């Protein structure tokens, strides 16, 4: 049975997902732990992949040799020091070590043209890695809190999508998405093409120019199990890479 299971899994793409490193309590234990919301794992599995967790310790870009695709997960605020900015009072809970870890993986993934999906904070660190900056507290710019209505409550945001882009091929000209963020792209990196915006002008998706599948979204597709379009597209790109390398 073990050999049969191995043969079945051999054909499924391996998708790495970056994780949080946080103080955590479980049972009688209170320790730092690498963790990730299960919805990311379920989304990758539902789309046909095998999820592999990538903790922000022992960073080594050669781990990408084991992968067919990479997801940069959401999470805490990006450290403004990574783009030479002074911290805003609302910028809290930064994890500079995770920022650097994910930047290393992003650079290596782009060098290899590994299929890449960057989610929420993932889009932000993608932009910073490529030379862009962030709006540290979005309500200062748009005068509302609809992108993060209240703690642990996702907002529903309608985005307008640019035609003739990967994002456009997946979503058409408009989509309603789940958002939870108070930071967003400010100066967009030169190698990124903005492919979707909210009605207030907030960048909601961007693609790395010159790559077949290197897409970041400001929203949380893993929070909508009825819409797997992004994960399915990632798995299709990963499957193609797996069979051709």
Give catalytic residues, as residue numbers: 120, 220, 222
Q: How far is CA 112 from CA 59, 65, 106, 170, in A?
A: 17, 9, 10, 23
For residues 188 and 186, give the distance between their C-alpha atoms in angstroms, rounded to a whole number. 6
SS3 of residue 160 by DSSP: strand
Q: Are the C-beta atoms of 96 and 86 separated by less than 8 Å?
A: no
Cβ partners under 8 Å of residue 240, min gap 6: none
- H or E stretch including 16? strand 14-18
């Amino acid at each position: 049975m073990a050999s049969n299971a191995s043969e079945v899994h051999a054909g499924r793409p391996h998708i790495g997902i970056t994780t949080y490193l946080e103080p955590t309590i479980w049972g009688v234990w209170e320790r730092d732990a690498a963790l990730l919301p299960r919805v990311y794992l379920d989304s990758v599995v539902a789309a046909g992949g095998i999820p592999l967790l990538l903790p922000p310790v022992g960073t080594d870009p050669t781990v990408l040799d084991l992968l067919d695709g990479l997801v940069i997960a959401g999470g805490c605020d990006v450290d403004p020091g990574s783009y030479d900015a002074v911290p805003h009072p609302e910028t809290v809970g930064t994890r500079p070590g995770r920022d650097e870890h994910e930047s290393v993986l992003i650079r290596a993934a782009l060098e290899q043209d590994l299929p890449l999906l960057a989610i929420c904070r993932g889009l932000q660190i993608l932009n910073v890695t490529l030379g862009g900056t962030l709006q540290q507290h979005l309500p200062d710019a748009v005068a509302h809190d609809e992108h993060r209505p209240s703690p642990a409550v996702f907002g529903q945001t309608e985005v307008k999508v640019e035609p003739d882009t990967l994002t456009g091929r997946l979503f058409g000209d408009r989509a309603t998405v789940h958002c939870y963020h108070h930071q967003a792209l400010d100066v967009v990196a030169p190698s990124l093409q903005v492919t979707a915006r909210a009605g207030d002008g907030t960048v909601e998706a961007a693609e790395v120019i010159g790559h077949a599948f290197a897409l970041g979204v400001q929203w949380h597709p893993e929070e909508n199990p009825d819409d797997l379009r992004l994960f399915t597209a990632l798995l299709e790109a990963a499957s193609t890479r797996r069979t051709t390398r």
